[in-house]
């Protein structure tokens, strides 16, 4: 049966067979995940530092937190 879309691997009920990503793409994906995790950690650390700075300022002002 001829393909309607011009791509025989995409026609019919069988699933298309795409090649698995190469090692380079997997490395890039891993690096992106590491960068995202690092960004989240930096954001968390900044939030914690801000809370500590506020707590220190309140203690210097003689207020309890």
pLDDT in tens, 7-46: 555 555 556 666 677 889 999 999 999 999 999 999 999 9
pTM greater than 0.85 (yes/no): no
pLDDT bin (cut points 50, 70, 90) of residue 5 is: low
pLDDT bin (cut points 50, 70, 90) of residue 49 is: very high
Rounded CA-CA distance 54/41 in Å is 20
Residues with Cβ within 8 Å of 5's Cβ and at least 6 positions away in sequence, in order, are 11
Average pLDDT over residues 58-65: 83
């Amino acid at each position: 049966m001829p393909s309607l879309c011009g791509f025989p691997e995409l026609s019919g009920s069988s699933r298309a067979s795409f090649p698995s990503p190469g090692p380079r793409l997997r490395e890039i994906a891993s690096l992106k995940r590491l960068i995202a995790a690092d960004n989240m950690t930096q954001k968390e650390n900044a939030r914690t530092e801000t809370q500590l700075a506020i707590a220190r300022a309140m203690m210097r002002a003689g207020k309890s937190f």
